[in-house]
Structure 1
Amino acid sequence: MREGYEGTGPGAITPDGCAVELYSRLPVGDEPDVIAAAVPAGARILELGCGVGRMTHALLERGFDVTAVDESAEMLERVRGARTIRGSIERLDLGETFDVVLLASFLVHAGDEEVRRGMLRTCRRHLAEGGRVLIQREGEDYHTNVPRERVDPSGFTVRIVSSEPVGDGVDSVHAEYVFPDAVWTQTFRARPLTREQFEAALGEAGLEVDRCLTDDGTWVRAVAVPGA
């Protein structure tokens, strides 16, 4: 387990505290619709941090060609119908480019700045000419509106129990997922980013914001900086 990361509950737990069985149960939500509306039909998508394929499968159903990347073999075993690659996002170099690179699950908020830089460089490295990078950000009150909980219509409860500073602008976040028959917890590190900090991080990687895809600004489309 990585320092500062922990997970509990039934089944396999990945080094960053994610529970494979939990992620297999979580519903997809509206993310695939947000993505589909922002990219060309039938686009080749590189999905970074695909997990068990929740969004992968929904994107395949919408006619996209998806290459799914994750560092966890247990997660990738659940992915069906897509080309899968096991490896760390920040060091990935496939030697090919894609119409769309997808960085979801708040991965841009990695506590380790070098990991974040590596992830964004990976996005730029694999972006075809005229391509787009789609990035999911934390909400503005993600670290301040705590504790909070949400009851999903399917019958489970998500709680963000705490978000505590651990130094260098990084918070330790503790989450709980309560189902009728099982409970999972996850503790992980995340770095809040202001809009200015987020845009500066993109700029370091040769990217810039094209537009926000959702009213709350949690989904952003980025493109390559001309000449970068």
Structure 2
Amino acid sequence: MRPGHHGTGPGEITPDGCAVEFYARLPVGEEPDIIAAAVPARARILELGCGVGRVTRPLLERGFAVTAVDESPHMLDRVRGARTVCSPIERLDLGETFDAVMLASFLVHTADVELRRALLRACARHLAPDGCVLIQREGEDYHTNVPRERTDPSGLTVRIASVEPAGEGVNSVRVEYGFPDAAWTQTFLARPLTPEQFEAALAEAGLKVDAYLTEDRTWVRAVLAV
């Protein structure tokens, strides 16, 4: 496990504490609709941190060509229909560019500042000149409205159980996931970013905000700054 990251529950647990079996059962949310509305039809999409392909599959069904990247072979084993690449995102260099690059799952909030810079640079170097990067940010109250939980019609309950300071602007977040027949936990480190800090991080990588795609500003479309 990575320092500060931990996971429990049935099945394989990745180094960042993600449970493969849980993500294989997690229902598809609104992400495919948000992405489809933000990029050209039949766009070539590079999905960074694809996991088990929960979003990959509906994007393929909508006619997009998806290259799915994840550092966990156990996650990639669940992906169907897409070109897959097993690699840490920060070291990825495919030598090609895409109409859209996705960095979802709050990866931009990694606790490691240098890793965040490397993730955003990976986005920029794989981006076509007229392409866009789609980034998922934490909500305004992600670290403060705690504890909180929601229950999905599928029977899934997600509970943000605690957020505790871990030093140097980083928090330790514990999340509990449960279906009626199984439960998992994940503890991970996350760095909150104000809108100004987020936009400054983009600028370091040669990117800038083009539009906030959702009312809560958690999904962002960025483009090359030059």
Q: Judge same fold: TM > 0.5, yes or no.
A: yes
State how far apart, in whole Å, the 1-side matches of 2:196 and 2:153 are. Answer: 35
The residue that corresponds to 2:180 in the other structure is 180
What whole-Å deviation, never above 9, does each CA across 1:23-44 have from its counterpart, x for those lacking one? Answer: 0010111110000000000000
Q: 1:92 and 1:33 mapped to 2: Cα distance? A: 27
Residue 113 of structure 2 aligns with which residue?
113
CA distance in 1, matches of 2:156, 2:51: 20
Deviation (angstroms), 1:91: 1.1
Partner of 1:64: 64
Aligned residue for 2:55, secondary structure, equals helix
Q: Distance in 2 between the 1:26 and 1:120 partners? A: 26
- TM-score where L is the length of structure 2: 0.99
Partner of 2:43: 43
* 2-structure distance, mates of 1:156, 1:122: 33
Name the counterpart of 1:201.
201
Q: Counterpart in 1 of 2:99?
A: 99
Moved runs in structure 1, 4+ residues, more than 4 A?
Answer: none
Deviations 1:26-84 (A, max 9, x none): 01111100000000000000000000000000100000000000000000000000000
Q: Which amino acid aligns with 1:178?
A: G
Describe the superposition over 1:141-190 as per-residue Cα deviations: whole angstroms up to 9, x where unpaired.
00000000001111121000001110010000000001111110000000
**For the residues of structure 1 that align with 2:100 and 2:178, how far apart are their CA atoms?**
34
- The runs of 5 or more residues in structure 2 that have no matched partner are none
> In structure 2, what is the Cα distance between the partners aligned to 1:149 and 1:38?
29
In 1, distance between residues paired with 2:148 and 2:94? Answer: 40
Aligned-residue sequence identity (percent) comes to 76
Give me the CA root mean square deviation.
0.4
Aligned residue in 1 for 2:191 = 191
Amino acid of the structure 2 residue aligned with 1:220: V
> What is the count of residue pairs matched by the alignment?
226
- How far off is 1:101 after superposition? 0.2
Would you say 1:31 and 2:16 are equivalent positions?
Answer: no
1:74-102 Cα shifts (integer Å, max 9, x gaps): 00000000000000011111111000000
Q: Which residue of 1 aligns with 2:88?
A: 88
Stretches of structure 1 that go unaligned for 5 or more consecutive residues are none
